[in-house]
A and B are shown apart, each in its own frame.
Chain A
């Protein structure tokens, strides 16, 4: 059978808290419909949602590109925003620059990037202060039961 990549593009609006999470919800629905394991789908949805919320909370706008490749899923989130001056610091659990407004909504605990790392196989971040951030996440599905062991 011919194998080709499936891909989707979504726009994310900064500060649009009412619609925040819609993109990750779609990704979750796509993966469920395609029959991926629930625990795997959950991990992808969490990583995607954390990335989406980062754009909503911190950037002016962004895009999320979602690819299903034969060997892995790839999510690339690009935003136009303030950028991350110190990525190592941002990766530390508990470090956050979130506003009070964001914290009152139950976010901004400084767990977003560490949680993306926890739920992905690869996490790459490139950021330019004053321009924006690109986050790339690669998640490999567990091997199917057939053919294993």
Chain B
């Protein structure tokens, strides 16, 4: 699934531009605990989270997260957005809650690192 499709499905907006909307996303994970992201990511995921501090960007950088979606209309501050831009990590923001955002993406075929939903 490409980033433009994810943006449409989640009715999300980009927090910095320009980004490559044709970026290919093969899997996703959801977490508010960055410790979990650091232990469970295999690299290349889309991260959905309700946490909006700069450690989300740093953690994403370390584990090679491809893009981040902030849920529930939460927005990081300008410095955090600037850090993401510097590191080339696209940021999206959606009004959807975490569960709804994950459900929408899963229903359209995006899976987690196991490669399956069932």
Contact = CB atoms under 8 A, between A and B. Distances in A.
Interface of A: 17-18, 20-21, 24-25, 28, 38-39, 42, 45-46, 49-50, 105-112, 114-115, 118
Interface of B: 32-36, 38-39, 43, 51, 53-56, 58-59, 61-64, 79, 87
Contact of A106 (B51, B62, B64, B87): B51
Given A25-B61, A46-B62, A20 B55 contact: yes
Contact of B64 (A25, A42, A115): A42
B2 to A, nearest CB: 21
B63 A106 contact: no
B38 A115 contact: yes
Given A38-B64, A42-B43, A107 B53 contact: no
B43 A39 contact: yes
Contacts of B39: 111, 114-115, 118
B32 A49 contact: no
Contacts of A109: 33, 35-36
B67 to A, nearest CB: 17
A91 to B, nearest CB: 14
A50 B54 CA distance: 15
B55 A50 contact: no
A21 B34 CA distance: 13
